[in-house]
Structure 1
């Protein structure tokens, strides 16, 4: 019973950290990455589909991406999706190939993105603390129903706190790594 609560809390904390990593992949650094555009949705015959389902996205060099739609008719739709996104990139089209050149980040833009990374990290920490609160509440409910002793409650809450501390340290490490990646010129 107590082990189930701890395992559930640990799994949910790990998912929060993974969600943070997934979110931070979309934050643009100085290097080209296919993850920058994979989340874009393209209007394809009346329905919005992810870019990866209608085109091939490749890294051509450190600062540029190449997008090759599978059908010539949707080149315009892919361009519109890129222009409508919050990436701030202008597509260059040559036939059926779309090229995205990623300009170098300015110091000001790096600082803005650093703030975004920190905010995402704080959101992940809040999620982890909420998981801790839920787990501790489940333990308190078991104590109230007299299914566990006070010693078991205290020990379990300490173990949950250790899990929380470890998860928050992991979040800090992920944020620090992303920030170093952002600040590297």
Structure 2
């Protein structure tokens, strides 16, 4: 059993003109490419009119054996996907984004979305990646079934050095407040 496995990806970033007057461009990640050729940063791979597509590779997706339930839930949705987190980069370079992370864990993706930083894109998982992930999940041992923990019984308090246990007052005796008072007296 391998504790973790990794696969290399290329991230495709697409820029289209926006229809809004408050922004010039709409950025999206339409796809990921398995085992894409290595690039030095972003490389333009397609240009049609004002639309541009860029490729950045390699970026690694690592599956860890402790996240089996998250990966299973991703595959069982019927539409498995990957999430890509991009952070905006200040500067004149085009396209102005940096790949921060790629994950197959939906819980981690929710964390990316909740942070409110960067661009988080949901991308359909390629068939080759689904097969690779399923093979890894099959190689792992079955997780133990959930078993509700039972409470431990508290041991009965034992009389030590003449001290009366606080949970079990002897018949006819009322414990005194603050240690004051005589045996058998009512507290005042």
- Short-chain TM bin: under 0.3
Q: Which has the higher helix share?
A: 1
Q: Which has the higher strand share?
A: 2
Q: What TM-score do the two structures reach when normalised by structure 1?
A: 0.21
Considering only CA atoms, is the larger Rg found in Structure 1 or Structure 2? Answer: 2
Q: What TM-score do the two structures reach when normalised by structure 2?
A: 0.21
